[in-house]
Structure 1
Amino acid sequence: MAGFEDLIAVLPAWLMLLGGQLLLIIIPASAAFLFLYRWKGNPLRGRKIQPGFSSAATIRREVRYSILTALVFALNGFCIYLFMTEGWTLVYAEFSDYGWLYGTFSLVAAIVLHDAYFYWTHRLMHHRRLFHAFHRLHHTSRSPSPWAAYAFAPLEAVVQTMFLTILVFVLPLHVTVIYLFMVHMILRNVIGHSGFELFPRGTAAHTVFGILTTNTHHDLHHSAKAGNFGLYFTWWDRICGTENPDYRKTFARVTSRHIASEREEERTVAALKA
């Protein structure tokens, strides 16, 4: 009976984590979907990376599995919460313990380490013996929408969420840094699966900003089903020779098409005024 009472006592904490996780996924995905796919005045419509749109059935599937992923993430978050209450993790609550400089460093370090973790687990899940159980469902979104970002099979959701579990045991992290890391992760993932190129023209070939994965970078991974395994940065793909050879050309074509469509609209407006 004591065990059941203990479970009831911690249930509100888990429900709060679940609600927070659902909001973290649903709000950005819904906002991006409504802006890019439902708003007729979308100024970025010329930057659709692939022709055509996902079916309503595909979107519904993506939403269902995104909710399931939120459930898995919340369960893992609850485990981390329990570990924290026992004092087993390196999570801390006072910035004065390590200072603001370290807090900033730890956020950057978490992002860089997550990118490495994602790249190598992503490649591993593309192994023929693992792909069907772990990653095939995510790739059923051949032309992804914002809802595809977290449309994972349960096993892949576990792999994705385990990074933070490992990290809190090896790197001191302030609770705010964990929250900012989660927000950054979800926003970048939703944007990367948007199906539209939002990065400025020239980003892919830029000396500095070329290290960032553009939306075209990950979209090509979905359409080609190989290469471009990175999440935030392109360096692992470049080092390991897994970057799609058509990446820069495709990015240039998509961004140039957008500029051309804007000029056509300007010419049309000018002609009407004349």
Structure 2
Amino acid sequence: MALITGCSSGFGEAIASAFASEGYEVVATMRNPDNAPESLKAIAAETPDSFVLAPLDVTDAASRQAAVDLTVKRFGQIDVLINNAGIGARGSLEDTPEALWRKMFETNLFGPIELIRLVLPLMREQGAGRILNVTSVAALLKTPFMGAYCGSKHALDAATIALDTETRSFGVRAVCVMPGPFKTSLPANSLDREASEPYAKIAATFNSTFDGMEAHAPEDFTPVVEAALAAAHDADPDMRYPAGTEPVKILPPILEALAPLRKIGLHLTGQD
């Protein structure tokens, strides 16, 4: 069974639908299930015994606990946790206030980590489990005017790779699903900060370039869905599953350079 966050649209909606089609029992979560996409409402209506829409605010401790409790009560176990919920923001480091940095990290990093901490004892007891954290190419790219977003995704990437080494002896694996540019609701909901005068010129150039990229981003989430399914099914999963990253030409050499980090982690823990 799979517990999936951020299913109100985009990747989460597509992943929840695909996992249901693959025969998984699914708890698809979002802040307000009443506003769930029609596609997921239809699945829940057709297969109420195996597909549940549930409320979850990943930044709220009580909400996280309630979602996990509901899942275990309903299905008895959690085989796959997919941390997909996230928010974005543009703005220079100087123009981005502390409160926004904290909101970004609460949603993109601390919420997922706390959900992981809740499910790990269950997965250890089962002797198996898979944790999929949906990051972004931004986890490896240090994009100007997106420092808070890139920082939160980079931190989740690093935590995931460390976690995988810590938990593999329990039969639990942690991996990253790393989407490239896609047309999702993230830009529309982005918590952007207007550039102050010193940054106005270069921010305008960046925004124009980035808006152009987003306008031509693909709407078909199939690569992300296929990456998530592979990450959940592969017996010895990769550290990262890129999806739709072809436009980011610099990414393959970065991934190749980072590959030895897994070997270093295994060596440090006597698992090599």
Which category of TM-score, normalised to the shorter sequence, fits these structures? under 0.3
User: What TM-score, normalized to structure 1?
Assistant: 0.24
The structure that is helix-richer by fraction is 1
Larger Rg: 1
User: What TM-score, normalized to structure 2?
Assistant: 0.24
